[in-house]
Amino acid sequence: MESPQTCCEQGHQNLEAMKAGMFLRKVKSRMWKRLRHYKLQEDCKTIAYKSSWAITSYSTFSISDVEAVREGHQSEALLNVADDFPADRCFTLVFRGRRGNLDLVADSAKEAQAWIQGIRVLMENMENMDESTKLDQWISDWFLKADLNKDGRINFKEAKKLLKMMNVDMNEEHACCLFMMADKSESGTLEDQEFVEFYKMLTERTEVLDLFQDYSSDGQSLSQCDLEEFLREEQLEGEGSYEHALQLIDCYEPSDTARKNHSMSVDGFLMYLTSPEGSIFNPERQGLFQDMSQPLAHYYISSSHNTYLMEDQLKGPSSVEAYIQALKRGCRCVEVDCWNGSNGEPVVYHGHTLTSKILLKDVIATIANYAFKASEYPLIVSIENHCSIEQQEVMARYFRDILGDMLLTNTVEGVSSKLPSPEALKRKILLKGKKIGNESESPTGEVSDEDEAAEMNKDSPASESLPTDSKELSDLMFCKSIHFHSFEHSRMSAKPNEMSSFSESKARKYSKEAGSDFVLHNTRQLTRVYPSGMRTDSSNYCPVDMWNMGCQIVALNFQTAGMEMDLNDGLFTQNGCSGYILKSEILRKKERFFDPENPEEREDYHPLLFSVKVISGQQLPKVKQKDWSIVDPLVRVEMYGVPLDQVKQETKYIDNNGFNPHWNETLQFTIHTPELALVRFVVEDYDKASRNDFIGQYTLPFTCIQPGYRHVHLLSKDGTSIHPSSIYVHIKITEL
């Protein structure tokens, strides 16, 4: 074991080597391998890189964007060049969100280790930072950007330029006045710490100060009783507010003196309001809080469509990385389309298109490796099988050998009248596909819509029948894909492990024509919905319409960012990001009828009034990188749920202020079925000549909202944090 001293020295040497910079080979494919110069910036948080021929211009990425560092040949690109470069010189940076991996090769194993260990240490340092340190870091990053001549100070001209970069259009006199107040040393320039003060004066939150003073008995601080009153009156906390007030003081008050006196300063109050506890999302619903012992059909299951695709449906790449991304996002149902490959090796790709092919055995190995990293609850692998009997036998062998004990093989046939629960199936992988039925059925088994569509698109003459199924593969199927005849037929004869797949248009048609029958069907049977074949660009349909019917497996193209994936991420953020959400009781009851088209007809109809006062915004990111362009932000609150609840309202836009815009506007909604509603907050940059530009969004289930004064922490298009950007709101929910 190395002594801490040597570890520390080694760590220091790694960082110094990274700061000095070195040439690493960036690999995209066997043909594309190019030298780039990479170096760690002085802030120890940014890595700059440029191609060997570029004279000065470096591009950069932040260490906080890196999610993991993989060593060796752990990506498709590096596996492709494994013969040229030994594993100990190779490593991969995996980024958050949907950004592609960066595959690198160093000149020696020692240089590779310097980067691997160095980046891991820097990532850990960033993870361990508390909120106020993060904010100070964020501010000093800006300082480094503004300090053009790198003398550790900025003058007023540099400060003005910086304000523009930070999205602030400020009256020059006001800015100059604050600059002079912060310039304690009266040198006409600000040093690092003075700049932090300048920034804090700039961002003083008058609206938070006013609220603080409304509850402070002495105008200076909140006593434990003052804070308790605020928690009861505004945040609507009931029992235990007095004890909670003390916990908040202990947790968020920066001043030792105030903490000893059981009181909170305005700084502590702001820290609480911007913390996870002060956020709009109720922390009690963040972890696993639902009953996980009900039959599978009672849960929404986070599901991906054609999981192997990274881009479009016609010509883009297929990749095991796409499975890793989906599984890391908590996806619990992935799709594998299998076709005959050369040398007897089944391949995965979108049949009859130009999408690239990957080996089935690599896909299964990836699933085995990542299946339970984000969630322990069962993973369903939906198989579309187009292979010959011989290659199906190879498939069966791979599933058995590679998945081992994880594979659930004892199927439910005849065992029970309902499916097992997520709890009973923890850490199990369930296969879903065509299954040879009883003797009277044809050996081809039955098929789903999507299989049928794929078969119909075959270039072969119509007389050719489906390839017959191999018994070996059929025996491994836990869920059986069947053709849907009618709700009546299913009610009479469907077994619990039989599942039909519907295209989005067919699912919509049934929801309009037979809403309550569809809801009832989904109390017993699993239903899978998939995007229309016309969506060749991998766009998505709105999943909410399907969830309203109680459809469990609503498959989306995870690779495509946008409102539909925001809703999916929003629904599945609760319950420990387990990928399973217990459906509302109205969608689980077999005795009662619920029709989402007519929510007011249900017995216990209790609509709610949802009122959102949009107060202010904080540090919204720039949309256009041009120095002079500053955003004109507006906030739109979008409601999703039963058709009656689908409404949107927005504030007016604020001219030229992305830094601390104030709207002070109240938006009101009537919600007919609160338990099925989701709320999406969107911030956009108003543009009168063209479409507004997206700035950030945050989506959550209505049932996870905390009332009172709350911050909504915005996410990027990709669903990653854009800290410290937020909007500050007041939420009120009352019975109508």
Q: Are 229 and 217 in contact (CB under 8 A)?
A: no
Final residue belonging to a domain, choices 203, 232, 259: 203
Whole-number Å distance between alpha carbons of 310 and 559: 6
Residue 409 in contact with residue 483, Cβ under 8 Å?
no
Question: For 214-218, what is the mean pLDDT?
Answer: 96
Looking at the fold, whether 624 and 648 belong to one and the same domain comes out as yes
Q: Which domain holds residue 106?
A: 4-128
Tell me, yes or no, whether 542 and 628 share the same domain. no
From 73, 298, 305, 521, the catalytic residue: 305
At 439, the pLDDT band (50, 70, 90 cuts) reads very low
What does the DSSP 8-state code read for residue 558?
A: T
Lowest mean pLDDT among 83-92, 266-275, 454-463, 681-690: 454-463
Instruction: Please report, to the nearest 10 degrees, the dihedral formed by the alpha carbons of residues 477, 478, 481, 486 taken in order.
Output: 150
**Residue 644 is assigned to a structural domain of this protein:** yes
235 and 246 share a domain? yes
Q: Are residues 568 and 643 in the same domain?
A: no
Angle at Cα 254 formed by Cα 251 and Cα 257, nearest 5°?
105
What's the rounded mean pLDDT across residues 236-259?
A: 94
The pLDDT, as a whole number, for residue 135 is: 72
Structurally, the chain folds into a number of domains equal to 5
**Residue length of the chain:** 736
228 alpha-carbon distance from chain centroid: 34
What mean pLDDT comes out for the span 262-284? 95
Say what the pLDDT of residue 452 is: 45
Residue 584 DSSP symbol: P
Residue 303: which region, alpha, beta or left (left: phi > 0; alpha: psi -120 to 50)? beta
Asked if the model's pLDDT at residue 674 lies above 80, the reply is yes
Instruction: Say if 460 falls within a structural domain.
Output: no
Query: Do you find a cis peptide bond into 607, omega within 30 degrees of 0?
Result: no
Residue with more model confidence, 723 or 500: 500
397 and 534 both lie in a single domain: yes
End-to-end CA distance of the chain: 67
359 and 502 share one domain: yes
Dihedrals phi, psi of 122, to nearest 5 degrees: -65, -40
Tell me the average pLDDT across 462-484: 81
Tell me whether residue 286 is in a domain: no
**Would you say the pTM of this structure is higher than 0.95?**
no
How far is residue 24's CA from residue 218's CA, in Å, rounded to a whole number?
61
Q: pLDDT over 70 for what percent of the chain? A: 93
Q: What is the mean pLDDT of the chain?
A: 90
Residues 714, 702 share a domain: yes
d(C-alpha 197, C-alpha 585), whole Å: 52
Q: Provide the pLDDT for residue 626.
A: 65
Phi, psi (degrees; rounded to nearest 5) at 187: -100, 0
| Three-class DSSP labels, 222-281 | EEHHHHHHHHHHCCCCCCCHHHHHHHHHHHHCCCHHHHHCCEECHHHHHHHHHCHHHECE
636-667 in b/e form (b: 16+ CB < 10 A) is bbbbbbbbbbeeebbbebbeebbbbbebeeeb
pLDDT of residue 624: 73
Tokens of 142: 């800006």
> Is there a domain that residue 229 lies in?
yes
Residue 444, pLDDT score? 43
**What confidence score (pLDDT) does residue 1 get?**
54
Range from 246-255, 382-391, 483-492, 591-600 carrying the lowest mean pLDDT: 591-600
Angle of helix 192-202 relative to helix 131-146, nearest 10 degrees? 110
Contacts of 4 (CB under 8 A, 6+ apart): none
Residue 601 within a domain: no
Tell me, what's the pLDDT at 59?
A: 83
What percent of the chain has a predicted confidence (pLDDT) above 90? 73
What is the per-residue pLDDT for 233? 96
Residue 97 scores a pLDDT above 90: no
| Mean pLDDT, residues 599-628 taken together | 88
Place of tokens 């077999």: 590
Residue with the bigger pLDDT between 437 and 411: it is 437
Strand partners, 635: 683
Has residue 546 been placed in a domain?
Answer: yes
pLDDT band at residue 446 using 50, 70 and 90 as cut-offs: very low
The reply to whether 12 and 145 lie within a common domain is no
Q: Is the pLDDT of residue 662 over 50?
A: yes
Tell me: do 263 and 119 sit in the same domain: no
CATH label of the domain that carries residue 181: 1.10.238.10
- The whole-angstrom separation of Cα 526 and Cα 514 is 17
CA 40/CA 63 separation, integer angstroms:
10
Asked whether the CA dihedral 431, 432, 438, 444 is positive or negative, the reply is: negative
C-alpha 68/C-alpha 77 separation (Å) is 17
- The answer to whether residues 79 and 195 belong to one domain is no
Contact criterion met (CB below 8 Å) for 35 and 25: yes
Residue 565 confidence (pLDDT): 97
Q: What is the pLDDT of residue 634?
A: 98
Is 592 inside any structural domain?
Answer: no
Amino acid 4: pLDDT: 53
Q: What is the mean pLDDT of residues 212-223?
A: 95
- Dihedral angle at the C-alpha atoms of 257, 259, 260, 262, nearest 10 degrees? 130
Helix (H) or strand (E) holding 684: strand 678-685
Lowest mean pLDDT: which of 275-289, 457-471, 641-655?
Answer: 457-471
Q: State the Cα–Cα distance between residues 665 and 635, nearest whole angstrom.
A: 10
Instruction: Determine whether 483 is an active site residue.
Output: no
- 630 plus 645 within the same structural domain: yes
5 — pLDDT class (breaks 50, 70, 90): low
Tell me the average pLDDT across 310-323. 94
The pLDDT, as a whole number, for residue 625 is: 67
Active site residue 672: no
Task: Determine the Cα–Cα distance for residues 504 and 510; give it in Å rounded to an integer.
Answer: 10
Burial status of residue 306 (CB atoms within 10 A of its CB: 0-12, 13-18, 19 or more):
buried
pLDDT in tens, 8-44: 788 889 999 999 999 999 999 999 999 999 999 888 8
| End-of-domain residue from the set 110, 128, 146 | 128
The domain boundary, picked from 148, 177, 203, lies at 203
Which pLDDT band holds residue 441 (cuts at 50, 70, 90)?
A: very low
Q: Of 631, 636, 632, which is closest to residue 614 (Cα–Cα)? A: 636
Q: Name the region of 442 (left: φ>0; alpha: ψ -120 to 50; beta: rest).
A: beta
Above 60 in pLDDT, residue 677? yes
> Distance between CA 736 and CA 734 in Å, rounded?
6
- The residue type at 438: N
Average pLDDT over residues 475-488: 94
Region of poorest pLDDT, from 95-104, 122-131, 178-187: 122-131
Tell me which of 380-384, 487-491, 624-628, 634-638 is least confident.
624-628
Give which of 634, 624, 618, 653 is closest to 725, Cα–Cα.
618
pLDDT at 545: 96
The whole-angstrom separation of Cα 705 and Cα 713 is 13
Q: Which of 12, 73, 244, 350 is catalytic?
A: 350
Q: Look at residue 162 in the predicted model and tell me its pLDDT.
A: 80
443 pLDDT higher than 60: no
Q: Is 624 exposed, middle or buried (0-12, 13-18, 19+ CB in 10 A)?
A: exposed
Residue 149 and residue 186 in one domain = yes
The better pLDDT of the pair 169, 387 is held by 387
Query: Does pLDDT of 143 surpass 90?
Result: no
> Has residue 89 been placed in a domain?
yes
Closest among 693, 681, 683, 688 to 623, alpha carbons compared: 693
